[in-house]
Amino acid sequence: MESLKASQIVPPEEQWLDEVATILLSGGFAAFPTETVYGLGGLATSTKAIAAIFSLKGRPSTNPLIVHLASEHQIGDVAALNTPLIRERVERLCPLIPGPLSLVLPALKDRSVPAVRADGETVAVRIPRHPVAHALLKRVGAPLAAPSANRSTRVSPTLASHVLDEFPTAGLFILDGGPCEIGLESTVIDLISPTPTILRPGSITQETLEATLGESVAAPFAQGSTVGTREIARSPGLTALHYSPKTPLYRLPEWKKLEQKTANIGLITFSRERASAILARETRALSPQGNLEEAAAQLYAVLRELDTCGLDAIVVGEIPGHGVGEAILDRLRRAEGR
């Protein structure tokens, strides 16, 4: 599927926004920055674009895509806000939109090709707040389905150069928006279930969602709870072995339990204070001052960098579990064990 034409990073100037919008409107695909991670977008209504995106990523057809919109006023163009409860939930969440939040809603089935929804009855929608994503969505004037711009199961890209590393010869234009501010994928919340349910944790936390919605929110991904098979089927991003570097990754307690150890490892610590736990060839503090938002923003770039160092293992030290720490720990649990 992948052509052998070099992919290209381009600046987010008028000329390139127009060029990329034209490509998208003719059923092509392109990469663009969002505040969470870079996306690989195509028209949600284009069978050709969506097939190409699944093929490029090597993504299983059972894993649906998030549909991106320029404004919250377009949610009703792709999703059915057909019960007072769902309408009210969406309205209550508006203070968090645009932003790093994806809403799973009943789908209007003629507004996205079945592959976007993995043939299901629901659609995930998100309104990104990154100015380049917004400018592109406005120019295109139609919903864009966009998974993270990485090969399936790999670490999501938080820089334009990460996208180029993933797809060097896909003939892809990559709009450069600099480093992603948040650095972890959006929180995905199912608003259809009797209790709204977080399907993927992110920088918008359970606590914030409960306060904004004014009702309790379930978080079946949380450590110690077992995720039901129903949830797994509905949000395959929850399945194990996602977000993985090529180098085997261990959490520090598991690493300490291993009998055969090497010093050819990269140690990732949360802050500078926690840097000296074990002997390592490379050490990276995600946030020298111990700031969780900064740690989240750095995580994927650090994993990618250490992945190029010829290490036998990447070992991750203790990360606080509150706030966005919950989402960081979720990604690390899924990156373990390759």
Where along the sequence are the contacts to ligand TXA (CB under 6 A)?
Answer: 34, 36-37, 39, 63-66, 102, 104, 117, 120, 122-124, 126, 128, 146-148, 185-186, 188, 199-200, 234-237
Distance CA 38, CA 35 (A): 8
Q: Identify which of residues 17 and 116 has a Cβ nearer to ligand TXA in the complex.
A: 116
Q: Does 244 engage in binding with Mg ion (CB under 5 A)?
A: no
Rounded least distance, CB 129 to ligand TXA, Å: 11
Q: Does 148 engage in binding with Mg ion (CB under 5 A)?
A: yes
> What residue 188 binds from ligand TXA, Mg ion, none (CB within 5 to 8 A, per partner kind)?
ligand TXA
Rounded least distance, CB 281 to ligand TXA, Å: 31
Q: Identify which of residues 148 and 235 has a Cβ nearer to Mg ion in the complex.
A: 148
Rounded least distance, CB 267 to ligand TXA, Å: 27
Q: Give 166's Cβ-side CA count (13 Å radius).
A: 30
Locate all alpha helices (DSSP H) within the chain, ordered by sequence: 14-25, 47-57, 75-78, 84-93, 131-140, 160-166, 206-213, 229-234, 252-257, 292-306, 325-335
**10 Å Cβ neighbour count for 55?**
11
- Cα dihedral across residues 327, 333, 336, 338: positive or negative: negative
- 3-class DSSP assignment, residue 31: strand
Rounded least distance, CB 320 to Mg ion, Å: 24
Residue of this chain nearest to ligand TXA (CB atom): 237
Rounded least distance, CB 149 to Mg ion, Å: 9
Could you tell me which stretch among 112-120, 145-153, 276-284, 311-319 binds Mg ion (CB under 5 A)?
Answer: 145-153
Q: Identify which of residues 157 and 177 has a Cβ nearer to Mg ion in the complex.
A: 157
Q: Identify which of residues 38 and 250 has a Cβ nearer to Mg ion in the complex.
A: 38
- The CA-based angle 131-94-294, given to 5 degrees, is 55
338 close to 332: Cβ distance less than 8 angstroms: no
- 3-class DSSP assignment, residue 70: coil
Q: Which residue's entry shows tokens 């938080």? A: 158
Could you tell me which stretch among 6-14, 48-56, 148-156, 291-299 binds Mg ion (CB under 5 A)?
Answer: 148-156
> What residue 24 binds from Mg ion, ligand TXA, none (CB within 5 to 8 A, per partner kind)?
none
188 close to 206: Cβ distance less than 8 angstroms: no
Residues engaged in binding Mg ion (CB under 5 A)? 148
